[in-house]
Structure 1
Amino acid sequence: MSTAPRSSFRDIQNEIARRIGEREWRPGSLIPGEEQLAAEFGAARATVNRALQELARAGLVERKRRVGTRVALHPPREARFAIPLVASEIRASGASYEYRLLARRERPATAEDAERFAVAPGDTVLHLLCLHLADGRPYQVEDRLINPEVAPRALAERFDAIGPNEWLVSAAPFSRGEFTFFADRPTRDEAHHLGVGAAEPVLVGERRTWLGSRPVTFVRMVHPRTHRLTSLL
């Protein structure tokens, strides 16, 4: 099936990344060759080659001479860094894990959302508020936005039985991510759900991930000040 011609390698890169992300092309499968893709997108073969090179650098595809280009078997998160599963963190500590969906809302993107996701104000975003508990005690408030333009299957997921953290790791690949950690004071709702005082400091982690050049999700993860973050190098 042909699509509208694209002259930009970035547009071609994003479309190929979309097909991989939505499993139109499964992990390990060969994708069409440069000549076929160039014809489909109405682009020069060199433009397609550059798009594939960028995807290979991101870890989404693997290229071999005389073989072709395959969708990577292992997602970039395994090759580059690990997105921790909150459930696994809690169970590894010996505590029992519990998950609660506090709110799920499809809403128009605000100006801040539009800047964060490179979408137009008013476009639909999925907003989720979740609580993770360890041995019945609040462990993390997860305040997450998902960009349905990049992860459209999220709109069909209720997230009442599985948290977005776990769902995204298994269902929505990404090519790069950005992490920020800092101390902050909780919002009124965060303080309520964590059972802490409004003036009590909390540990906040913010993470944004991209598929190609398009942001997939942004999350604010809020922990009580007793939380400890450990990394193995």
Structure 2
Amino acid sequence: MSDAPISWQSIRDTMMRRIRTRVYAPGALIPNETELATEFGCARATVNRALQDLAASGFLDRKRKAGTRVMAEPRRKASMDIPLIRAEVEARGQTHSYRLLLREEATPPAAVAAQLHLKGGERLLHVQSLHLADDRPHMFEDRWIVLDTVPALTDADLSQISPNEWLLREAPYTHGTIELAAACAGDAGGHLQGDPQTPALSLLRVTWMHETAITFVTQIFAPDYRLSLDL
């Protein structure tokens, strides 16, 4: 028999089985960390890690001095990583290519400035590009980048590397927001070889480096695109 200490992942999985089989019913108070540590023969810190993970996943409600209860209605979250478009296309067994359509320093529209919380006077780079899969349009991208946040981008050759790839490699974000919408392709429709009135998935994203905005991007995908999220 192994004498290896029990892992927090093992405790988490055991607790999850108890929740699913109603050993711990919805709304029920579960044993405290000391009791669970005794049961599993481990340190309280190990139990704490397991319970924190279940709480973060939406299965437990932890309140100081009130104990830990099973959520009556578990809140599950879908997670979405910012994809490297090239890798996403290649993962589907297709060949990725990229075209730079526009690169200019410009003053952003008021709506973009508001999204980026600009104060005025910042340098912004406006880039439009097209990603292809097997030489067919995959996604049209309209992006505004705050050069004050990422000045090294000024010298980057965006005809050879897309802003999506450059920023993911060189300017890791700390947080951001994503908005999904179904809308007409509009001006992007011509680049996507479709009717401007054709419905398309539109993704709007803002990323930040702590309190400083990095980029605001609108990505409009070809009509046959399918978005997948992990639950």
1:126 and 2:117 aligned: no
Question: Cα gap change, 1:187/1:81 in structure 2, threshold over 3 Å: closer, same or farther?
Answer: closer
Equivalent position of 2:114 in the other structure: 115
Equivalent position of 1:67 in the other structure: none
Long gaps (5+) in structure 2: 1-78
SS of equivalent residue, structure 1 residue 191:
helix
Question: Cα gap change, 1:81/1:228 in structure 2, threshold over 3 Å: closer, same or farther?
Answer: closer
Equivalent position of 1:151 in the other structure: 150
> Once the two structures are superposed, what CA deviation does each residue of 1:140-174 show, in whole Å capped at 9, x if it has no partner?
00111111121111112130100000100110021
1:105 and 1:126 in contact (8 A); partners too? yes
Q: Which among 172, 180, 194 is matched to residue 192 of structure 2?
A: 194
CA shift for structure 1 position 232: 2.5
Aligned residue identity for 2:157: R
In the alignment, the residues of structure 2 paired with residue 98 and residue 218 of structure 1 have an alpha-carbon distance, to the nearest angstrom, of 22
In the alignment, the residues of structure 1 paired with residue 109 and residue 220 of structure 2 have an alpha-carbon distance, to the nearest angstrom, of 22
CA shift for structure 1 position 216: 0.7
> Once the two structures are superposed, what CA deviation does each residue of 1:49-70 show, in whole Å capped at 9, x if it has no partner?
xxxxxxxxxxxxxxxxxxxxxx
| Structure label with greater radius of gyration | 2
Equivalent position of 1:142 in the other structure: 141
1:140 and 1:222 in contact (8 A); partners too? yes
Identity within the alignment, %: 34
TM-score (norm 2): 0.63
Aligned residue identity for 2:176: G
TM-score (norm 1): 0.62
Equivalent position of 2:72 in the other structure: none
SS of equivalent residue, structure 1 residue 153:
helix
Matches within 5 A, 1:43-122: 82-121=81-120
Which structure carries more relative contact order (alpha carbon 8 Å, separation 6+)? 1
1:109 and 1:123 in contact (8 A); partners too? no
Equivalent residues, number: 153
Equivalent position of 2:202 in the other structure: 204
In the alignment, the residues of structure 2 paired with residue 222 and residue 110 of structure 1 have an alpha-carbon distance, to the nearest angstrom, of 19
Q: Which among 212, 218, 221 is matched to residue 220 of structure 1?
A: 218
In the alignment, the residues of structure 1 paired with residue 219 and residue 166 of structure 2 have an alpha-carbon distance, to the nearest angstrom, of 16
- Give RMSD over aligned pairs: 1.6
1:186 and 1:200 in contact (8 A); partners too? yes
